[in-house]
Structure 1
Amino acid sequence: MNLTIDIGNTRNKLAVFYKNELVDSTSIDELSVPTLQNFLNKHSNIENGILSSVKVIDPSILAFLKSSLSYFIELDETTNIPIENQYKTKSTLGKDRLAAVIGAYNIFPDMNVLVIDMGTAITFDFINEQKQYLGGTISPGLTMRYKALNHFTNKLPLLEKNEDFSLIADNTANAIISGVQNGIIFEVDGYINTLKSEYDDLKIILTGGDAIFFDKKLKNTIFVNLNLNYIGLNRIIEHNQPK
């Protein structure tokens, strides 16, 4: 069995796979050796593992994983992956972005796929039918946009996402909500439509913490998969695991 660990900007996510089947997953606020030990005790058949992180990892955690697992990968720019990475600054590429693209390739092999991760930041990443990852874009996420309006102005309040919003708002609070949320919708639909003009067979996968919130609000047909990073990380293990 395989253990995938995805350390993001706000959450730490663990998942267990048996071959390509997701067996269990959980999110935790803080990753520690005792937490990992408890998780491994719960899944005693785990032999292989991979860790992807956007942060610097405590050396004791890496040492524990290396000593506890038969085969362990700390994902970085030198890791052997099943796609061709054409990103020019590989050392600066977020590991979560790379894992998501590999997950998309695993779901839609030999197809043009756009991955939109709606997390702390909103990232757009494209892999073509030749399994070449070409790159993408990064923009502020939903919560970050609300916080920025509050932080960089004197009077605008700090608000949160709201299901009730319109195109034209008649008060300041609703104007903020409309601007932030409609702005993201227009950005995402606009990006998709522009890319579709070049790739008419484009598949689109939405993932990340705000994916469900925006799913039905977008005009384009999309697939939502909140386990995309897990799937990509597991695919990397399977690709590298000694036969």
Structure 2
Amino acid sequence: MLLTLDVGNSHIHAGVFNQDELVLQFRYTTASAHGSSDQIGIFLRQALHENKINSKTITGVAVASVVPAINYSLRSAVLKYFDLEPFFLQPGVKTGLKMQVATPKEVGADRIAGCIAAVQLFPNTDILVIDLGTATVFDVVRKDKTYLSGAILPGVRVSLDALSASAAQLSSVSIVKPQIVIGKDTDTNLQSGIYYGHLGALKELKSAMINEINVEANEVVTIATGGFSQLFNVKGLFDMIVPDLVLQGIKIAFDKNKIQEK
């Protein structure tokens, strides 16, 4: 079995694949992983044990990390607790994408993983991937697998937290889809602004990007992923939501590079 780890700024999203089937998913706060390699390794083994998976059945570990500070501890944890050398999705490994960006080394591994999986789902198709997490990230991949990059804006929670921290009379609120746009008090004003403001940004950026690559909107498949993707699942915005898109991409990259090694 393969253990995949999507290391983001807020959480580590882990998944276990038994061949091509994703049989387990769990999360760990990234802040907790800034400790020792023992903390990481013990957590991973306990999480597997609690879900009735013997850690000895893990034959590979693949990682996409956007938090370089914990990569050393993470690698040490995998070596010590799984006796495996982890595969990191990073510049220089085989991805199947043609990078048409100014600085390929700066592109987050999670973005690449999501696009790898998207291309596998929809080959020979222009694709827009929108990842709604700590940041909201747009990526465009052309039908010939050329990766064009896209745009990054503050995520929903980051936007709300920044506003609450900067304005003394504004407190944090639940992030929900409001029933009305014109809020009746401060809390519903915030909820409306955060939700509909972000929705407007999603629609505008999607439209502008499709226009910029000069294709018809119905010729582009829009795939959403990330923790806030379901919140914005409104008619016509996404063609599909794939919550485990990044984990799927990490597995595909792992398989590509294992084949390459042979």
- Common topology (TM > 0.5): yes
What aligned pairs does 1:190-229 form with structure 2 within 5 A after superposition? 190-197=204-211, 198-200=214-216, 201-215=219-233, 217-229=234-246
What aligned pairs does 1:92-171 form with structure 2 within 5 A after superposition? 92-171=106-185
1:47 is the counterpart of 2:41 = no
Q: How big is the shift at 1:188?
A: 0.9
Aligned residues: 242
Give 3-state SS (helix, strand or coil) of 1:209's partner: coil
What aligned pairs does 1:3-82 form with structure 2 within 5 A after superposition? 3-29=3-29, 30-31=32-33, 32-38=40-46, 39=48, 42-55=54-67, 56-57=69-70, 59-66=72-79, 68=82, 72-82=86-96
Which stretch shows the higher mean deviation, 221-230 or 159-168? 159-168
Give the partner amino acid of 1:17: F
RMSD over aligned Cα atoms: 2.1
Give the partner amino acid of 1:228: L
> Deviation digits for residues 86-127 of structure 1, max 9, x if unmatched?
232223222211111111112112211111111111001111
Q: Contact (CA 8 Å) 1:54, 1:94: kept in 2 or not?
A: yes
| Percent identity of equivalent pairs | 25
Q: How big is the shift at 1:129?
A: 0.3
Q: Contact (CA 8 Å) 2:5, 2:15: kept in 1 or not?
A: yes
Runs of 4+ in 1 over 4 A off after TM superposition: none
Cα 1:221–1:122, aligned 2, differ >3 Å: closer, same or farther?
closer
Q: Contact (CA 8 Å) 1:52, 1:75: kept in 2 or not?
A: yes
The structure richer in helix per residue is 2
* Structure 2: distance between partners of 1:4 and 1:235: 11
> Deviation digits for residues 181-231 of structure 1, max 9, x if unmatched?
10111111222223344232100111101111111x354342000000001
Q: Which has the higher contact order (CA 8 A, sep 6+)?
A: 1
* Structure 2: distance between partners of 1:71 and 1:24: 21
> Deviation digits for residues 146-189 of structure 1, max 9, x if unmatched?
11222222322222212334222343322221111101111112
* Structure 2: distance between partners of 1:11 and 1:195: 29
Query: TM-score, structure 2 length as denominator?
Result: 0.84
Gaps of 5+ in 2: 34-39
Q: Contact (CA 8 Å) 1:115, 1:205: kept in 2 or not?
A: yes
Gaps of 5+ in 1: none
Q: Contact (CA 8 Å) 2:78, 2:85: kept in 1 or not?
A: no
